[in-house]
C-alpha cells in the first residue's frame, strides 16, 4: 500500500505522525512510504533519516495526497487539505469531529474513509491511541498552570507546592481518566493540594487506592464542583465523552466568583471545552483573561513536547497502521474495537457520539464496509 505522511500545517503543531523507525517497519513489510519534506523537522527527525528508513520524499501536500492511499496524520485536516481528500483515501488521525461541523461536512463530502485515533478502543474498552497524548496533556497542563500562576504571567503569584509555613496551591482536577490521573501525579509531585472529581466511583476508588489520601477523590456533584472551584488556584478540565462534545462543567457566573489571577486549563478544548468561557488558543498565544481568570485552552497541548509526543504516538499507532496497510478495511470488519475508530465512511457518519453531537443518527458501519 502507498502510505502518506504529510507535514502538519495546524498552527503550532510540532508532531509528525510517523518516526523514521516506524517508516522502516512499514517499508520492511513491503509498503511504500511517502513523507513530505520537512515533515519531521520540528520533532527532531530530518529528511535524510526517513530516506535511510526507505521512505520517499514528496515536495508538497498536493504531491503527497496524489500518490498516497492511506494518509496518517496527527491533527485533523486543515482547510487547505479539504479538497485534497478523495474517495480513494483512507485517513487515520485525530479527528475530534464533534468540535467542528465544517470539518465534518468537508470529510463527508470528500467520500474518504476517516478513522479517528481518539475513538478506537481495545479489548478492555480503553482508548489506546488517545492514551499517550492524554498522558502528556495531563502532565503539561500542570506545568502550564503552574507557569501561568506566576505574577509575571498575570497570575496570582502562587507557588504550586508552597514552602514550609506557607500552604501549597489548591488544584482541582475535573475528570479522573488518563488526563486527570497524570495531572494529579504531576501536581502531587510539585507539592500541591490536589482534588480529583469524577462520576465514576470505581475510578475514584482506583485513584484513592493509589494515592492513599495524598489526592482527595470526590464524587462530582455540581454543588461540590462549584464550592471547590471558588477556592481553587488552578482548575484542570479533563472530562471526556468519547467522540461527543465535552460537557460544560463550570459556567461563566461561577468563574466570576473565582479569585483574580486563578488559572483554568481546558484539556477538553479539542471536543469543545468544559468551561463556558473556553475558546481554542495556540502555543503562540496560549492564554487570555476573562472574568479576571487566566484561560489556557491550547488545542494541541502535546505539541509542546513534539519529539516525546511523536515517539509515543508512533509506538501506539504503528500496529494499527500495519494492519490497515496489510489487510485494508477488512480489518475493521473483524475487530469491533478498531471499527469503533471509524467516524466517516462513504459519505456517512458512523460514530454514534459524533452523530449525537450534531443531532443526527449514525449509520451502522458494517453496512458500509
Task: Specify the pLDDT at position 242.
Answer: 72
CATH of domain 2-127+306-367: 3.40.50.720
In the predicted structure, residue 243 carries a pLDDT above the cut 70: no
Q: How far is CA 63 from CA 1, 36, 52, in A?
A: 16, 9, 21
In the predicted structure, residue 244 carries a pLDDT above the cut 90: no
- State the architecture of 131-299 in CATH terms: 3-Layer(aba) Sandwich (3.40)
Task: Specify the pLDDT at position 240.
Answer: 76
Residues carrying an active site annotation: 96, 270
Share of the chain above pLDDT 90, in %: 92
Dump pLDDT digits (tens) for 133-167: 999 999 999 999 999 999 999 999 999 999 999 99
Task: Specify the pLDDT at position 187.
Answer: 97
Residues ≥6 apart with Cβ < 8 Å to 139: 182, 183, 185, 186
pLDDT average, residue stretch 310-318: 98
pLDDT average, residue stretch 161-186: 96
DSSP code, position 76: P
Helices (H), ranges, 111-198: 131-148, 178-189
Check: CB of residue 169 under 8 Å from CB of residue 193. Answer: yes
Say how far apart CA 59 and CA 355 lie, in whole Å. 36
| 204 — pLDDT class (breaks 50, 70, 90) | very high
Dump pLDDT digits (tens) for 14-55: 999 999 999 999 999 999 999 999 999 999 999 999 999 999
Burial of 222 (0-12, 13-18, 19+ CB in 10 A): exposed
DSSP string, 187-251: HHHTT-EEEEEES-HHHHHHHHHHHTTSEEEEE--HHHHHHHHHH-SEEEE----TTSPPP--B-
Dump pLDDT digits (tens) for 316-368: 999 999 999 999 999 999 999 999 999 999 999 999 989 988 999 999 999 99
Check: CB of residue 337 under 8 Å from CB of residue 229. Answer: no
In the predicted structure, residue 214 carries a pLDDT above the cut 80: yes
Q: What is the pTM of this model?
A: 0.90
In the predicted structure, residue 270 carries a pLDDT above the cut 90: no
Stretch(es) of the chain classified as CATH 3.40.50.720: 2-127+306-367, 131-299
Q: How far is CA 365 from CA 120, 198, 244, 349, in A?
A: 13, 32, 17, 8
Q: How far is CA 44 from CA 33, 36, 38, 266, 305, in A?
A: 19, 15, 10, 28, 11
The whole-chain average pLDDT of the chain stands at 95
Amino acid at each position: 500500500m502507498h502510505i502518506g505522511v504529510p507535514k502538519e500545517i495546524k498552527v503550532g503543531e510540532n508532531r509528525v505522525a510517523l518516526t523514521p523507525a516506524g517508516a522502516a517497519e512499514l517499508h520492511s513489510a513491503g509498503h511504500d512510504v511517502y513523507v513530505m519534506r520537512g515533515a519531521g523537522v520540528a520533532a527532531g527527525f530530518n529528511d535524510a533519516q526517513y530516506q535511510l528508513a526507505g521512505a520517499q520524499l514528496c515536495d508538497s501536500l498536493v504531491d503527497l495526497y496524489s500518490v498516497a492511499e492511506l494518509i496518517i496524520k496527527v491533527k485533523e485536516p486543515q482547510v487547505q487539505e479539504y479538497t485534497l481528500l478523495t474517495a480513494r483515501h483512507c485517513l487515520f488521525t485525530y479527528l475530534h469531529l464533534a468540535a467542528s461541523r465544517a470539518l465534518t461536512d468537508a470529510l463527508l463530502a470528500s467520500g474518504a474513509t476517516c478513522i479517528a485515533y481518539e475513538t478506537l478502543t481495545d479489548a478492555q474498552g480503553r482508548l489506546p491511541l488517545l492514551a499517550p497524548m492524554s498522558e502528556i496533556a495531563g502532565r503539561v497542563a500542570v506545568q502550564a498552570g503552574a507557569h501561568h500562576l506566576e505574577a509575571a504571567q498575570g497570575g496570582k503569584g502562587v507557588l504550586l507546592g508552597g514552602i514550609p509555613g506557607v500552604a501549597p496551591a489548591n488544584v482541582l482536577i475535573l475528570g479522573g481518566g488518563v488526563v486527570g490521573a497524570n495531572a494529579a501525579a504531576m501536581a502531587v509531585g510539585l507539592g500541591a493540594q490536589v482534588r480529583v472529581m469524577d462520576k465514576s466511583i470505581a475510578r475514584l476508588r482506583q485513584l484513592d487506592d493509589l494515592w492513599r489520601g495524598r489526592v482527595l477523590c470526590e464524587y462530582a456533584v455540581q454543588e461540590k464542583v462549584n464550592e471547590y472551584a471558588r477556592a481553587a488556584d488552578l482548575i484542570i478540565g479533563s472530562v471526556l465523552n468519547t467522540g461527543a462534545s465535552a460537557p460544560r462543567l463550570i459556567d461563566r457566573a461561577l468563574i466570576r466568583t473565582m479569585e483574580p489571577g486563578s488559572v483554568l486549563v481546558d484539556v477538553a478544548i479539542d471536543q469543545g471545552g468544559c468551561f463556558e468561557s473556553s475558546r481554542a488558543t495556540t502555543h503562540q498565544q496560549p492564554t487570555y483573561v476573562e472574568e479576571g481568570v487566566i484561560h489556557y485552552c491550547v488545542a494541541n497541548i502535546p505539541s509542546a513536547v513534539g519529539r516525546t509526543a511523536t515517539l509515543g504516538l508512533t509506538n501506539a499507532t504503528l500496529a494499527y497502521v500495519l494492519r490497515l496497510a496489510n489487510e485494508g478495511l477488512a480489518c475493521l470488519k473483524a475487530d469491533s474495537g478498531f471499527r469503533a475508530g471509524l467516524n466517516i465512511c462513504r459519505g456517512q457518519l458512523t460514530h454514534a457520539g459524533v452523530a449525537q453531537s450534531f443531532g443526527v443518527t449514525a449509520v451502522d458501519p458494517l453496512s458500509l464496509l
